[in-house]
Amino acid sequence: MSELQIRPIRTTELDELIDLLCVVHENTQRGERYRSYILGDPTWRPEQTPVVLVDDRIVSTLRIWDRHVHLGATPVRMGGIGGVTTHPDYRRRGLANQLMAHAAETMRSSGYELGLLFTIIPARFYRRLGWCSVPLTGFRATLHQCPDSACGPWVVPFEAARDLEEVVTLYQRNNAGRSGTLLRPRPYWDYTPSQVRGVLPTVVARDSMGLVGYLNWEMKSDRAYVNEVAWANPPSLQALVLHLLAECDAAAVTEVYGGIPPGHAFVDALVVTAEADLRHTGDGSMMALPLDMSSLIDKVLPRAPQEIRRLPADLLCRLLFGESSAGELIPVLHSRGIEPDIPRRLEELCPRRELIFWQPDHF
């Protein structure tokens, strides 16, 4: 019988781990990228990369990213699960189930308050392990005009030496208390994994006072994808919109999309300026694991009545993030045959919030 062991990786096994990742993902060119995710991240610890060994061979692994995320307006310590990988010869043996259970226990014992992941496989796999879906919304806009640029802040390519410190400050100002966004301490912007995943802006808006906005976007096939945006005032927002529209016009691109709620001010400005047709899009890939739900409720909703603790965990997660308000969840409870005992004042304590998880922070 094969001997199975789950434990933190050892630094002497890094080459074997990278070989596994390259084989499974069929991309030998990404070896150095995988290596940089560990060596280029000062927050990494061996226990954040558990591995499954069968007869002393690494056959499965995942990564726990130690980060902080706004749950509602409250920062909580989050373990981001990424890179769940099993060698093809060892699949359908329940190894990923055991590895995920090990990761959950590691996070609990290490003081994490919430697990978070973005799944590329059917969500039911993770739901069976106790994870809850937290839907995200996005937008798709079909452009119909490209106005001439107006006077205001000028938009120029991002230069780290000139812009980075001001970008960090503007990010913090724009995202403090915004549900779903990560806390990005200054070193975060320098981590190799952050830069590999594109945390640095594409362009910035500047005026005589300094940096007043930034836009992180890219062309994907025949469409423009907006990864992230921040601004200090209406003129800087408009300058960023006009820049994007001019770039789309030059590339003969008429579709802009992104994981930003359709009601977001940037999306609204884009639609109004370009007379665009707006479509709402959805993303069901984000899943959360409350590692101590009672503690999370006490921290995020300290004035909430005891009745909400009896709600299903998946609906509580949506409530804590602000994806749905308390009132919006009542019909869902009715549809499940649950008669909710939700005090009317809970609607005031648990309003709907603008929920964004910026694309460069995905793991």
pLDDT digits (tens, 9 = 90+) for 116-147: 999 988 899 999 999 999 999 999 999 999 88
Q: Is residue 348 part of a domain?
A: no
Q: Give the pLDDT of residue 247.
A: 95
| CB-based contacts of 75, cutoff 8 Å, min separation 6 | 68, 69, 183
Alpha helix positions (H), 72-204: 95-109, 124-127, 160-175, 192-196
pLDDT in tens, 286-338: 999 999 999 999 999 888 878 788 889 999 999 999 999 988 888 888 899 88
Inform me whether the pLDDT recorded for 10 exceeds 80. yes
DSSP bridge pairs for 116: 80, 288
> What are the strands, taking DSSP E only, across the chain?
4-8, 50-54, 57-71, 74-86, 114-118, 132-133, 136-142, 154-157, 203-207, 210-220, 223-231, 255-258, 277-283, 286-290
Q: Is residue 202 part of a domain?
A: yes
Q: 344 falls in which pLDDT band (50, 70, 90)?
A: low
At 36 the three-state DSSP class reads helix
Q: Specify whether the CB–CB gap between 98 and 106 falls below 8 A.
A: no
Helix (H), strand (E) at residue 261: none
Q: Specify whether the CB–CB gap between 158 and 203 falls below 8 A.
A: yes
Examine the domain organization and report whether 184 and 70 are in the same domain: no
Q: Pseudo-torsion of CA 109, 177, 259, 316, nearest 10°?
A: 50
Give the C-alpha separation, 254 to 360, whole Å. Answer: 23
Give the C-alpha separation, 239 to 153, whole Å. Answer: 6
Examine the domain organization and report whether 96 and 187 are in the same domain: no
Q: DSSP label at 92?
A: S
Q: Give the pLDDT of residue 309.
A: 85
Examine the domain organization and report whether 112 and 165 are in the same domain: no
- The whole-number average pLDDT for the span 12-17 is 95
pLDDT in tens, 81-103: 999 999 999 999 999 999 999 99
Domain of residue 166 covers: 139-283
Q: Give the pLDDT of residue 151.
A: 64
Q: 202 falls in which pLDDT band (50, 70, 90)?
A: very high
More confident residue, 278 or 331: 278
Q: Give the pLDDT of residue 288.
A: 98
Examine the domain organization and report whether 183 and 306 are in the same domain: no
Examine the domain organization and report whether 292 and 278 are in the same domain: no
User: How many domains in the chain?
Assistant: 2
Give the C-alpha separation, 57 to 88, whole Å. Answer: 14
- % of the chain residues with pLDDT over 90: 81
| CATH code for the domain of 318 | 3.40.630.30
- The whole-number average pLDDT for the span 217-223 is 93
Give the C-alpha separation, 189 to 225, whole Å. Answer: 21
Examine the domain organization and report whether 265 and 296 are in the same domain: no
Most confident range, picked from 34-38, 49-53, 302-306: 49-53
